[in-house]
């Protein structure tokens, strides 16, 4: 988008000289307070709204140079409440665009069935009508329908705003998975900054009057908000939230304090100087914490073990998850597990603190290199 302005006939300037280079095969989120011009911006991309000034290029071509129908076919469009056709079955809703493109009924329906599966919808829902689905299911149908003709671009306008937080999280996770699998170029509008940070490869923060406040990857927004508007919009706990972008893979795990419930007396004695021991079952899954002197070989009282909090998976989870595990643990040590839930070590709050400082230093160095 090159210096795009939209002035509505009544004089309202909804978007003001907006320039954005939207990356290919990534999720770009437009976020900002109500009325800041997000929807107007999105609709200018598929020409539901025409800019007053400036130009929009798609793969280097001015979008005004191709017929509007051709343009829209290359762009799936998903809106809040899904906007499904109420008198058509779910399968036929999803098959709408392929049918418009002249596919046979059979081929269009086969494609629709495939997409229902891709967005996590039970095939048994295919014959139902939209009113017979939950809000979250309808939203999935909306995504499937937008993907049906395999458009390279997806435009999504607050698609998950009308569902409860748990369903919303599921839809967000699904979108990230679909994006990874299909590599679509997605432009996603939301007023929810947490959603923007979770989904965005890059996030454009707009301020009222349709002006761009900052356009950056989420980790950079959190570490270096451009001004007080962006900082206020990001809200509290910026530092903690930023830890989600730091991997936990490099944490120094200690295995010494991990002992199986059937450990013999000799093994327990060798661990007697530790502050805390993490007791696991015979398979290596954590059971709880104990002070070493409370443990006697062969007769561990499981009820007297302290809860071990929320374990994290090194390499998969972030430093935020590791810190959370340590903060929730009564011993101040976080428990690390593998993908199957077997304990692979423990790590102290202090070690996590050191890893956080090191990650900050590395990020600052990278930012310096990029700036230089
Ligand atoms: N057809 C129109 N005619 C006049 N003004 C309009 C029109 N459509 C939108 N506006 C105004 O343009 C501004 C931007 O609206 P837009 O819907 O793009 O904002 P938004 O950021 O998507 O808002 P929200 O988060 O509340 O949906 C608002 O002040 C709105 O009132």
> What is the rounded distance in angstroms from the CA atom of residue 125 to the CA atom of residue 334?
43
- Candidates 316, 370, 368, 324; CA nearest to 341 is 316
User: What three-state secondary structure class fits 80?
Assistant: coil
DSSP 8-state code for residue 86: T
pLDDT of residue 238: 85
Hey, whose CA ends up nearest to atom 3 of ligand 1? 8
Ligand 1 atom at minimum distance from 43 CA: 18
For residues 204 and 212, the answer to whether their CB atoms sit within 8 Å is yes
Indicate the top mutation candidate among 4, 13, 18, 39 to test ligand 1's pocket, ranked by most ligand atoms within 8 A of CB: 39
Tell me, in angstroms, the distance from the centre of ligand 1 to residue 326's CA: 45
Tell me, in angstroms, the distance from the centre of ligand 1 to residue 34's CA: 8
Tell me, in angstroms, the distance from the centre of ligand 1 to residue 14's CA: 6
Which ipTM value was assigned to this complex?
Answer: 0.96
Hey, whose CA ends up nearest to atom 6 of ligand 1? 8
Tell me, in angstroms, the distance from the centre of ligand 1 to residue 362's CA: 41
pLDDT of residue 372: 67
Indicate the top mutation candidate among 37, 41, 79, 162 to test ligand 1's pocket, ranked by most ligand atoms within 8 A of CB: 37
Ligand 1 atom at minimum distance from 189 CA: 22
Both tokens of 147, joined, read 């993907």
Both tokens of 177, joined, read 């998975």
CA R_g for the chain: 26
The residues, any chain, with a CB within 8 Å of residue 321's CB and separated by 6 or more, are: 248, 310, 312, 313
Cross-strand pairs, 77: 155
The residues, any chain, with a CB within 8 Å of residue 103's CB and separated by 6 or more, are: 95, 111
What residues are in contact with ligand 1 under a 6 Å CB criterion?
8, 10, 12, 14, 32, 34-40, 191
Strand (E) positions, the chain? 2-7, 13-18, 27-31, 53-55, 57-58, 61-62, 75-79, 153-157, 185-190, 202-207, 211-216, 258-260, 277-280, 286-290, 333-337, 343-348
Burial (CB count within 10 angstroms: exposed 0-12, middle 13-18, buried 19+), residue 231: middle
Q: C-alpha angle with apex 198: 206 to 334, nearest 5 degrees?
A: 140
Sign of torsion, CA 301 307 313 319? Answer: negative
In this structure, the dihedral spanned by the alpha carbons of residues 84, 131, 164 and 166, taken in order and rounded to 10 degrees, is: -90
Both tokens of 262, joined, read 């059937």
For residues 46 and 40, the answer to whether their CB atoms sit within 8 Å is no
pLDDT of residue 323: 95
Q: What's the pTM value of the predicted model, to 2 decimals?
A: 0.83
Cα 218 from chain centroid?
A: 11
Q: Which domains does the chain have, with CATH numbers?
A: 2-237 (3.40.50.300), 258-355 (3.10.580.10)
Query: If you search the block for the tokens 């390499």, which residue do you land on?
Result: 315
Cross-strand pairs, 214: 205
> What is the rounded distance in angstroms from the CA atom of residue 137 to the CA atom of residue 162?
12
> What is the rounded distance in angstroms from the CA atom of residue 6 to the CA atom of residue 64?
15
Tell me, in angstroms, the distance from the centre of ligand 1 to residue 186's CA: 21
DSSP 8-state code for residue 293: G
Ligand 1 atom at minimum distance from 37 CA: 18
pLDDT of residue 79: 84
pLDDT of residue 334: 96
Tell me, in angstroms, the distance from the centre of ligand 1 to residue 13's CA: 9
Render the burial of 147-160: b for 16+ CB within 10 Å, e for the rest: bbbebebbbbbbbb
Tell me, in angstroms, the distance from the centre of ligand 1 to residue 200's CA: 22
DSSP 8-state code for residue 266: H
Query: If you search the block for the tokens 């001015």, which residue do you land on?
Result: 62
Tell me, in angstroms, the distance from the centre of ligand 1 to residue 38's CA: 8
Sites in the chain below the pLDDT cut of 70: 82, 372
> What is the rounded distance in angstroms from the CA atom of residue 115 to the CA atom of residue 293?
58
């Amino acid at each position: 988008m090159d210096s795009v302005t939209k002035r509505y006939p009544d004089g309202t300037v909804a978007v003001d000289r907006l320039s954005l280079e939207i990356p290919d095969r990534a999720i770009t989120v437009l976020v900002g307070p109500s009325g800041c011009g997000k929807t107007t911006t999105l609709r200018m991309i598929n020409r539901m709204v025409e800019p007053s000034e400036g130009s929009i290029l798609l793969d280097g071509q001015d979008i005004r140079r191709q017929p509007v129908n051709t343009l829209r076919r290359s762009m799936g469009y998903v809106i809040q409440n899904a906007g499904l056709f109420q008198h058509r079955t779910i399968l036929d809703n999803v098959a709408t665009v392929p049918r418009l493109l002249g596919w046979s009924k059979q081929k269009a329906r086969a494609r629709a069935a495939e997409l229902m599966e891709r967005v996590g919808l039970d095939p048994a829902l295919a014959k139902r009508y939209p009113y017979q689905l939950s809000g979250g299911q309808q939203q999935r149908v909306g995504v499937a329908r937008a993907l049906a003709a395999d458009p390279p671009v997806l435009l999504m306008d607050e698609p998950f705003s009308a569902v409860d937080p748990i369903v919303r999280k599921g839809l967000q996770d699904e979108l990230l998975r679909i994006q990874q699998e299909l590599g679509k170029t997605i432009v996603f509008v939301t007023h929810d900054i947490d959603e923007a940070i979770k989904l965005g490869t890059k996030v454009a923060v707009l301020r009222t009057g349709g002006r761009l406040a900052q356009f950056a990857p989420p980790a950079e927004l959190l570490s270096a908000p451009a001004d007080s508007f962006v900082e206020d919009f990001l809200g509290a706990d910026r530092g903690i939230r930023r830890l989600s972008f730091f991997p936990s893979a490099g944490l120094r795990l200690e295995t010494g304090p991990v002992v199986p419930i059937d450990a013999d007396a000799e093994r327990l004695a060798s661990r007697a100087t530790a502050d805390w021991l993490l007791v696991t079952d015979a398979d290596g899954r954590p059971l709880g914490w104990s002070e070493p002197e409370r443990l006697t070989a062969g007769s561990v009282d499981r009820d007297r073990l302290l809860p071990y909090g929320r374990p994290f998976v090194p390499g998969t989870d972030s430093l935020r998850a590791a810190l959370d595990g340590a903060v929730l643990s009564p011993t101040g040590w976080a428990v690390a597990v593998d993908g199957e839930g077997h304990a692979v070590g423990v790590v102290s709050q202090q070690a996590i603190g050191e890893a956080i400082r090191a990650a900050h230093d590395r990020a600052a160095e990278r930012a310096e290199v990029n700036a230089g």
